[in-house]
Structure 1
Amino acid sequence: MFIIMGIPEKPHLFVFSLLSVIIPIVFNTMMTTYSLIQEMIHNDDFNNWCKKHGFTISMFTILSSADVEALHILSSKIAGFNAFSAPPLSSRISRIVFWAGCINIFLEDIPQFIIQIYYKRDTIVYTIIPTLSLISSSVTLCISFFGKLYFFFMYFYGNKKSNRSQKLIEVI
């Protein structure tokens, strides 16, 4: 919306805005495709589930081109629907999805935020669409950053605890 409504008066930002949309979509599509193929090859339960739910996998491949972390919805069991009851992604693929989401902050969220700041700085009359876009971008960036930080520490400390518990069990 910002590209269509806000950029025509600032053509020098158009190319950068377009790249900040296209590059993340290509990256997410590649990561989604790679993750799904790897999971189908190495996880027989997931492969069987995919064979039964081909339409769902197709839709989530498309949705995940916007955000690779949408793959986690497949195994969320939302409202008990069969379409969202895939076997959980393997820990390897979950890590890939997590790090792809982290890279997305640098490929998508930060560049869009910077472009919107440049636009605000260079514009005399700042209308409602770019204002809402800047607010939305700021909130998205904060949520993405702190969400990733939270999950990183939960994973890191979760592994430390499980390693300590495992060592304690070995001692006993």
Structure 2
Amino acid sequence: MVTLADDPCLAQNTGRRRIFWTTRVEVCGNYTLCGEPCTIPGLEYEDSESGRTIKTDEWLNGLILNILNTRARTNAKCPSPAAVFGHWSESYRDDGLYIGSRLWNAASKSYVRVADAVKAIQAAVQADMGKLIAMGVADSVDVSATYRGRNLVEVLVAATVMNNRHVLSLSGHFVSGTWVWH
């Protein structure tokens, strides 16, 4: 019997964690929300003679998507129980890191200037991606955010692992009082 810990295929780069970080941007299709094109992330399978497996060649981009698509706990003083967000597993962490992204918290606040909102979004994503470095998954991560007008913010995340650069580009539209990211 082979356990996950004994499987030599899982020891590649980051150990057992790699197999779970397989979300791909457009695998499950796309749709339009309030006039904006959106994609549905998911797993992509690969069939071969030896059977079916999950594609993991873009594992770091998948991990970044998983972090950004999970809302971190809110930092509001008295949120309603349904608006606490976060992930149940955060209660069991002993390393002080949080689960998910604080991008949603930063983006939901009101700002007087657009430039302040963009800076807050960039800072939140940079803090979220700092977990990749703290956990030894990436050597460096650079985040830039740019306001493109008409309620559109572009966020570029570039993570480097052993001199290989992985880039993920996101666009966020503020539509009907909420952010739609794609």
* TM-score normalised by L of structure 1: 0.29
Q: Say which structure, 1 or 2, has more relative contact order (CA 8 Å, 6+ apart).
A: 1
* TM-score normalised by L of structure 2: 0.28
Higher helix share: 1
Higher strand share: 2
